[in-house]
Structure 1
Amino acid sequence: MPGGRLTAQERQQIALGLADDLAYAEIARRLDRPTSTVTREVMRNGGPGGYRADLAQRAAQQRAHRRRPTTHRGGPTAGGPASPDDAALREYEETFTTLLMQSGLPRMAAAVLTRLYVADSGSLTAAELVDRLQVSPASVSKAVALLENLGLVRRERGDGRRERYAADGDAWYQSMIAAARSNAALAATARQGVDVLGRDSPAGARLENMARFIDFVADSITRAAEQARDLLHTSPARDAEDPAPR
């Protein structure tokens, strides 16, 4: 039935659907569940190539067993405004983590990055990440190292000798610029094909049109990223009537 936790039988149906190469939406339709529920379930338990119903069921039982009814110690809004509903926050974190995994991040790295983004401070210590994610220090250390290499987090010196890890908002700007450069390189390669095949040939014309399209999109992305970069560092108190830089 829709709503509530997935049952062992539903997890078996998900595994069978994946084996039959069904889309998440089709599996969800057969279960009468939201597609997002199936997507999160698969991505948090090995992905489409590694999902096993028995292991997923066991992991869910372990999570339910260790889940505490009270709010996390030193939560992201401690000392500030009332924190969001625990269940709603966990649901949002899982959704955000799943999307980051779909973009290519391993689950633990995606979970760490999510926690950093939902923390009001924008930064957490390794001990805080271990506590909130209920994982080992080694898992957090490995995830942080990967995120640092990707330029998604940075180290900050906190009180005393503890280091804090902060989400680097500027990473999204750098990601857009890198994507634009990659597209520009693709356009340049397409034009090499035009020189080889001839501009008047059907294949040459196809590659030229492809290059023109990619050039236009890459240029638009670069200009938009430059114009909007300040939005990544805008204070929440900024006047809502001036939402974007001119």
Structure 2
Amino acid sequence: MPGGRLTAQERQQIALGLADDLAYAEIARRLDRPTSTVTREVMRHGGPGAYRADLAHRSAQQAAHRRRPAATARNARVSRAAGRGTGQDDAALRAYEETFTTLLMQSGLPRMSAGVLTLLYVADSGSLTAAELVERLEVSPASVSKAVALLENLGLIRRERVEGRRERYAADGDAWYQSMVAAARSNAQLAQAAREGVGVLGRETPAGARLENMARFMDFVGESITRAAEQARELLHTPPAPAADGEEAPGA
């Protein structure tokens, strides 16, 4: 019977088994693992209704990372190459990167794209080359290329041409504004669809009244999101305020 930590492939099999409504014992039998291992794994990572193999594996990697010694000299060298200040606590920064990447994954981004976007945001320069991303993430150039393509399609990053044919990828702060506007547009479409349902079912019917209320709610939320996004857009491009007298700037 195999031992040791669960692999990414095993966690994927657990997720598939849960989707097929298999009992823990049956999933464990297929993996040749103890039933208790599968039970602990599922309950530790959200339960049968919320278990996600990629997030569970990343969480396990984070826990293992915290048990390792502090970051090596190689990581410090790569951090400098990626445009981060040498005064930063590299171990704390790596832990923060793991946390931020996991949150981006929970919002729907694939693991690699979430990792790329995280690195672009924590780099002082706000941009990195493909080679720097490959070295920092310790993955293949093809993996970075695929992740970058997705982020570009979503409007979350942009390409910058530098030094001839070299390119850098930069985080686009305005993407968060565009995301809010897109959410408001989606709400408006839902409101319109609900009103069409009211026309079909009749406003006096219970179903029609339900859809009418939904449309009013979506209209209100969409208008609120748009108004707030417009008012706050400049915050995405505002430089940090100087530290007050007697205070240290963040990261100092």
Q: TM-score, normalised by structure 2?
A: 0.70
CA distance in 1, matches of 2:114, 2:38: 23
CA distance in 2, matches of 1:163, 1:100: 24
Task: Report the secondary structure of 1:154's partner residue.
Answer: strand
Question: What does 1:1-80 align with in structure 2 at a 5 Å threshold?
Answer: 8=5, 15-17=38-40, 22=43, 24=45, 43=55, 45=57, 68-70=72-74, 71-73=76-78, 74-78=80-84, 80=85
Per-residue CA distance 1:97-148 (angstroms, 9 max, x = gap)? 1111111111111100000000011001111111111111111111111111
CA contact (8 A) 2:45 2:56 kept: no
Task: Report the secondary structure of 1:101's partner residue.
Answer: helix
Kindly report the root-mean-square deviation, in angstroms, between the aligned alpha carbons of the 2 structures. 3.4
Q: Are 2:124 and 1:101 equivalent residues in the alignment?
A: no
Letter in 1 for 2:112: M
Deviation at 1:8, TM superposition (A): 3.5
CA contact (8 A) 1:126 1:137 kept: yes
Change (3 A) 1:45 1:234: same
Change (3 A) 1:216 1:45: same
CA contact (8 A) 1:72 1:132 kept: no
CA contact (8 A) 2:174 2:236 kept: yes
Change (3 A) 1:238 1:228: farther
Letter in 2 for 1:169: G
Structure 1 equivalent of residue 230 of structure 2? 226
Change (3 A) 1:121 1:14: farther
CA distance in 2, matches of 1:46, 1:75: 25
Change (3 A) 1:151 1:238: farther
Percent of pairs with identical residues: 67
CA contact (8 A) 1:187 1:214 kept: yes
Gaps of 5+ in 1: 1-6, 28-38, 48-55, 241-246
CA contact (8 A) 2:112 2:143 kept: yes
Q: TM-score, normalised by structure 1?
A: 0.72
Question: What does 1:1-246 align with in structure 2 at a 5 Å threshold?
Answer: 8=5, 15-17=38-40, 22=43, 24=45, 43=55, 45=57, 68-70=72-74, 71-73=76-78, 74-78=80-84, 80=85, 82-83=87-88, 85-237=89-241
Change (3 A) 1:44 1:158: farther
Tell me the number of residue pairs that the alignment of Structure 1 and Structure 2 aligns: 206
Per-residue CA distance 1:27-62 (angstroms, 9 max, x = gap)? 9xxxxxxxxxxx999516389xxxxxxxx78xx69x
Deviation at 1:159, TM superposition (A): 3.4
CA distance in 2, matches of 1:15, 1:72: 39
